[in-house]
C-alpha cells in the first residue's frame, strides 16, 4: 500500500472514474458517484518525479522469489502484487509499472492476464524471455508516466535493453521448442510474443513491429499448437485474451485469419459454453468477434473477385463465386442483426415492436460497451465490402447487403459516443478503439465528427504511438476526399 509522506496523499481528491469524467468525487472508497453508476471505484496515484514507496501490508506472505542476473530477487505477494519497489531496485519498480499497465489496459474484459504471467514466473521460467518482456513493458510505462526528463531517458533505455534480451531469449526458446516439441514452453512463448507486440504498439508509430510479433509470433505459436492445445488451461485463457488482437489485425488490414477456420471457430464456441466465469455480455462479445473475423474473410474473397473482374471478362465460374459472396454477405448481415436483437444493442437496429424501453439497450458493462462499438463498426465494414465496388456488383446483377447513408451515419455517431465512454469510464485498453474509430473515419463527413475522431485518437496516441499511423492515414483520406469533391 502507499504511505506518506511520499504518497502525495493530498493529490488524491478524486477517484480515477470521476477524474476522467470530470465529476465531483466524495473521496470515499467506493465514492458515491461510482456507487450510483454501479461501477468499480479505484484511486490511482498521479505520475510523480520520484516513485512512490510501496510497502508490504504485513499479513501478506511472499510465496517465492525470482533471481534475475545482476538484480535483486523479485518478491510477489499472494495477491499477485509486486512488493517493495524502490528507486534503487529497478526490477521491482518496473514490475510495479507492468502491473499498472495491465490494470489500465484490459484487453477484452474476459480474462486477467497478470494471473497467468505471474503464475508462469512463480512455477518456473526456464528462460528469462518472459520476465524480460514484462520488464520491458514496465520500463516503457515508467518512461511515459515519469515527469523528469532524465529519468524518462533512463527508463526508456532500460526498456530497450530488456526488449532486446527478451527477443534473444525468445529466439532461443523457439528453437528449443521446435527441436524438442516441448509443450511446457508454449504458454511463456505465447505471452512473451503478445507483450513484445504491445511494447511495439506503445513505442513504434508504424505498427510494423507489432505485426511481426503477432503474425510470426503469437499467431504461429497458436497455429502450431492447434485448437486442441487451447481447449483448457493457460493456453485456453491466452487464446481468449489475445483473440481480439488477431481479429483487429485481420479486419484493419483486410487480411485472412486462421480464426475464421472451422476448428478455431469450434474452439471459441466450446470455450464459451464451458466457461463458468464469463457473464452473458462477455459471451456475447466473443460471439461478435467470430462474426467480425468472418466479415474480414469475406472482404478478402470479395477483393480477389473484383481483381478477377478487372483483369478478365466475367465467366460462369466468376459469376458463381460472386453469387456465393453475395449470399454470405446477407448471411453475415442477418447474424449481426440477430446478435444486436439478442443483446439489446440500441433498439433502432431491432424491429419496432421491440423498441419498448430505450434504457434497456444502453450498454452498461465494459463488454457491452465494446460489443456495441464493434457491432456498429462491423455493420459499416460489411457494407463497405460491397458499396465501395458497387459498379461490379451491379454489372453482375447481384443484390448486396449494404446500408443506406442514414444507417451508416447513425452507426458513426454511436461509435463516437461509445468510444468516448470507453475512454472516460472504463479500463479497457484504448488500443481496442482503433478498429471502430478507423471505420468511423472513413464515413465521417461532418467537421465535428472529424474533430472528435482526431481528439479520441489523440487520447489513444498518448499511450500507444501506433495511433499516430491511424491519424496520418485518416488525415490523408479526408484530404483525398476533399480533393475529389472539389474536382467534381
> Which of 56-60, 174-178, 378-382 has maximum average pLDDT?
378-382
| Domain end (from 252, 277, 302) | 277
Given a contact cutoff of 8 angstroms between Cβ atoms, the answer to whether 129 and 117 are in contact is no
**Cα atoms found within 13 Å of the Cα of residue 170, Cβ hemisphere only:** 27
Q: Which of 254, 277, 300 is the last residue of a domain?
A: 277
3-state DSSP: the chain helix, strand, coil percent, rounded to 5? 70, 5, 30
Instruction: Indicate whether 181 and 152 sit together in one domain.
Output: yes
**Residue-averaged pLDDT of the chain:** 78
Q: Are residues 215 and 249 in the same domain?
A: yes
Q: What is the average per-residue pLDDT within 203-228?
A: 80
Domain count for the chain: 3
Q: d(Cα 5, Cα 441) in Å, to the nearest integer?
A: 47
Residues 193 and 256 in one domain: yes
Of all helices (H) and strands (E), which one includes residue 119? helix 113-122
69 is a domain residue = no
pLDDT score at 398:
93
Q: Are residues 326 and 265 in the same domain?
A: no
From the list 409, 462, 412, 466, the residue with the least C-alpha distance to 434 is 466
For residue 169, tell me if it sits in a domain. yes
User: For the segment 339-355, what is each residue's pLDDT rounded down to a tens digit?
Assistant: 998 886 554 444 434 44
pLDDT at 487: 53
Provide the grid cell at 467.
Answer: 495511433
Mean pLDDT of 229-256: 85
CATH number reported for the structural domain that contains residue 26 in this entry: 4.10.240.10
Boundary of a domain, candidates 248, 277, 306: 277
Residue 267 has pLDDT above 80, yes or no: yes
Nearest to 419 by CA among 402, 401, 435, 398: 435
Instruction: Kindly state whether residue 380 falls inside one of the protein's structural domains.
Output: yes
Residue 169 — pLDDT band, cuts 50, 70, 90?
confident
Rounded to whole angstroms, the Cα distance separating 190 from 209 reads: 16
pLDDT at 126: 52
**Together in a domain, 178 and 224:** yes
Give the whole-number percent of the chain exceeding pLDDT 90: 34
Residues 215 and 243 in one domain: yes
Report long-range pairs for 256-261 (Cβ below 8 Å, ≥24 apart). Answer: 256/296, 256/297, 256/300, 257/219, 257/293, 257/296, 257/297, 258/219, 258/222, 258/223, 259/290, 259/293, 260/293, 260/294, 260/296, 260/297
156 shares a domain with 108: yes
Secondary structure class of 114 (helix, strand, coil): helix
Q: What is the DSSP letter of 218?
A: I
Residue 329's pLDDT band, with cuts at 50, 70 and 90, is: very high
Same domain membership, residue 150 and residue 216:
yes
58 found inside a domain:
no
Answer yes or no: is 470 within a domain. Answer: yes
How confident is the model at residue 116, as a pLDDT?
67
- Supply the range of the domain harboring residue 333: 291-487
How many CA within 13 A on the CB side of residue 236? 13
Which of 59-68, 189-198, 231-240 is predicted with the least confidence, judged by mean pLDDT?
A: 59-68
Q: How far is CA 471 from the centre of its chain?
A: 18
Q: Which of 59-73, 180-194, 208-222 has the lowest mean pLDDT?
A: 59-73
Both 258 and 296 in one domain: the answer is no
- Whether 437 is covered by a domain: the verdict is yes
pLDDT at residue 68 greater than cutoff 60: no
Residue 73 lies in a domain: no
Domain membership of residue 187 (yes or no) is yes
pLDDT tens digits for range 442-463: 999 889 999 999 999 999 999 9
Lowest mean pLDDT among 78-87, 168-177, 220-229, 368-377: 78-87
Residue 66 β-bridge partners: 74
Whether residues 28 and 109 fall in one domain: no
Q: Is the pLDDT of residue 45 over 60?
A: no
Query: Would you place residue 228 in the very low, low, confident or very high pLDDT band (cuts 50, 70, 90)?
Result: confident
Report the pLDDT averaged over residues 3-16: 47
What's the pLDDT band for 6 if we cut at 50, 70, 90? very low
Q: Are residues 22 and 152 in the same domain?
A: no
Same domain, 462 and 415: yes
Amino acid at each position: 500500500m502507499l504511505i506518506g509522506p511520499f504518497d502525495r496523499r493530498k493529490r488524491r481528491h478524486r477517484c480515477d472514474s470521476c477524474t476522467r469524467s470530470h465529476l465531483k468525487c466524495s473521496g470515499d472508497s467506493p465514492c458515491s458517484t461510482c456507487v450510483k453508476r454501479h461501477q468499480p471505484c479505484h484511486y490511482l496515484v498521479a505520475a510523480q518525479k520520484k516513485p512512490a514507496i510501496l510497502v508490504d501490508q504485513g499479513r501478506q506472505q511472499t510465496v517465492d522469489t525470482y533471481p534475475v542476473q545482476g538484480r535483486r530477487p523479485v518478491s510477489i505477494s499472494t495477491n499477485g502484487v509486486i512488493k517493495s519497489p524502490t528507486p534503487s531496485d529497478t526490477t521491482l519498480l518496473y514490475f510495479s509499472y507492468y502491473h499498472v499497465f495491465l490494470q489500465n489496459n484490459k484487453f477484452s474484459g474476459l480474462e486477467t492476464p497478470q494471473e497467468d504471467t505471474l503464475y508462469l514466473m512463480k512455477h518456473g521460467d526456464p528462460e528469462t524471455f518472459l520476465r524480460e518482456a514484462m520488464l520491458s513493458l514496465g520500463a516503457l510505462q515508467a518512461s511515459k508516466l515519469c515527469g523528469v526528463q532524465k529519468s524518462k531517458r533512463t527508463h526508456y533505455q532500460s526498456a530497450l535493453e530488456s526488449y532486446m534480451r527478451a527477443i534473444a531469449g525468445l529466439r532461443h526458446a523457439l528453437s528449443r521448442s521446435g527441436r524438442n516439441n516441448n509443450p511446457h514452453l508454449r504458454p511463456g512463448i505465447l505471452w512473451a510474443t503478445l507483450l513484445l507486440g504491445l511494447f511495439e504498439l506503445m513505442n513504434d508509430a508504424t505498427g510494423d513491429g507489432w505485426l511481426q510479433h503477432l503474425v510470426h509470433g503469437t499467431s504461429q505459436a497458436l497455429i502450431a499448437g492447434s485448437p486442441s492445445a487451447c481447449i483448457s488451461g493457460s493456453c485456453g485463457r491466452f487464446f481468449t485474451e489475445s483473440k481480439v488482437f488477431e481479429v483487429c489485425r485481420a479486419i484493419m488490414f483486410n487480411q485472412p485469419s486462421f480464426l475464421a477456420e472451422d476448428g478455431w471457430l469450434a474452439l471459441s464456441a466450446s470455450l464459451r459454453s464451458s466457461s463458468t466465469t464469463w457473464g452473458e455480455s462477455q459471451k456475447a462479445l466473443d460471439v461478435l468477434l467470430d462474426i467480425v473475423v468472418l466479415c474480414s474473410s469475406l472482404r478478402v474473397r470479395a477483393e480477389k473477385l473484383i481483381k478477377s473482374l478487372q483483369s478478365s471478362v466475367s465467366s460462369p465460374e466468376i459469376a458463381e463465386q460472386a453469387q456465393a459472396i453475395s449470399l454470405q454477405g446477407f448471411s453475415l448481415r442477418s447474424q449481426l442483426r440477430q446478435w444486436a436483437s439478442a443483446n439489446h444493442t440500441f433498439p433502432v437496429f431491432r424491429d419496432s415492436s421491440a423498441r419498448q424501453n430505450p434504457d434497456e439497450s444502453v450498454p452498461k458493462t465494459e463488454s457491452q460497451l465494446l460489443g456495441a462499438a464493434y457491432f456498429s463498426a462491423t455493420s459499416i465494414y460489411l457494407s463497405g465490402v460491397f458499396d465501395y465496388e458497387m459498379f461490379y456488383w451491379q454489372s453482375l446483377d447481384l443484390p448486396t447487403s449494404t446500408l443506406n447513408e442514414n444507417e451508416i451515419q447513425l452507426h458513426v455517431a454511436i461509435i463516437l459516443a461509445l468510444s468516448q465512454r470507453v475512454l472516460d469510464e472504463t479500463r479497457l485498453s484504448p488500443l481496442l478503439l482503433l478498429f471502430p474509430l478507423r471505420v468511423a473515419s472513413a464515413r465521417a463527413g461532418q467537421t465535428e465528427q472529424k474533430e472528435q475522431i482526431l481528439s479520441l485518437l489523440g487520447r489513444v496516441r498518448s499511450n500507444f504511438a501506433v495511433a499516430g499511423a491511424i491519424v496520418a492515414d485518416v488525415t490523408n483520406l479526408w484530404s483525398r476526399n476533399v480533393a475529389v469533391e472539389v474536382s467534381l
